[in-house]
Structure formats: C-alpha cells, structure tokens
Amino acid sequence: MKNVKIAVTVAALLVSGQALAQKAGQTRAEAQAASAKKFRSLDTNGDGKGSPAELLAFMTKSAEKRGETMDQAKVDRRLKRLDTDGDGYVSAAELAAEDLAKFDKADANHNGVIDADEAP
C-alpha cells in the first residue's frame, strides 16, 4: 500500500511539473500564442489589463487544478515580478515577456524550437 501512495505522489509531481515545463516541439511563435491565450483567460473583464484581483482568481484556479492552494502573498510576489512598468497591472506584453524568457531559457541552442532534449 505504501508503494501505491508513493507512486501517486510521484505522478502528481510529474503532472504539476509538466504544467510549468515547455513542451518538446513547441516553437517560439506557439509559446507567444499560448501566452496571449493565457492573458485572455487572466483578463476576465477584457479591459486589456490584468488586475491584482484577476491575477488572484487566475492563480487560484490553476493552483486548484494542481490540487494546491494559493495565497495572497504569492500573488503579490508574482505581480511584482510580472509588472515591470510598475503600473500595478499585468499587461499582455509583460506576461509574454516572462513566458518568452522561460522559452528562451529552455531553448538552449536558440533555434526557436524546444527540442526533445531541451524539454525537461
């Protein structure tokens, strides 16, 4: 029974890791499109700005999908990191900057595609 529990925990870790990781075969344009899509689901009132409340709702929803909880401090830290122009909101460009920075980090040989050996 103990082994079963460990297997389930490992599987859960793998799934949550995959949610954050870049996919093999993904191009930079796809990463950009995925980021734009993410922004649209973040910006629920469609005003083009991700407010702190929208970010909280968005992060809570994705944490719940992973079976985790979200707290305000985490959201505040994330907003501070994302909000590079300091206006208190996350813009599509700010979100894309973070997502593409992640992509570029994963794309070790800078060919614009996440190769199989670059996907974690």
Binding site for Ca ion (CB under 5 A): 43, 45, 47, 49, 83, 85, 87, 89
Alpha-helical (H) ranges within the chain are 2-20, 28-42, 52-65, 72-82, 92-106
At closest approach, how far in Å is the CB of 80 from Ca ion?
10
Q: Which is nearer to Ca ion, 83 or 118 (CB)?
A: 83
* CA-to-CA separations, 16 to 9, 10, 64, 87, in angstroms, rounded: 11, 10, 11, 31
Least Å distance, CB 29 to Ca ion, is: 24
Least distance (Å) from Ca ion to the CB of residue 91?
A: 5
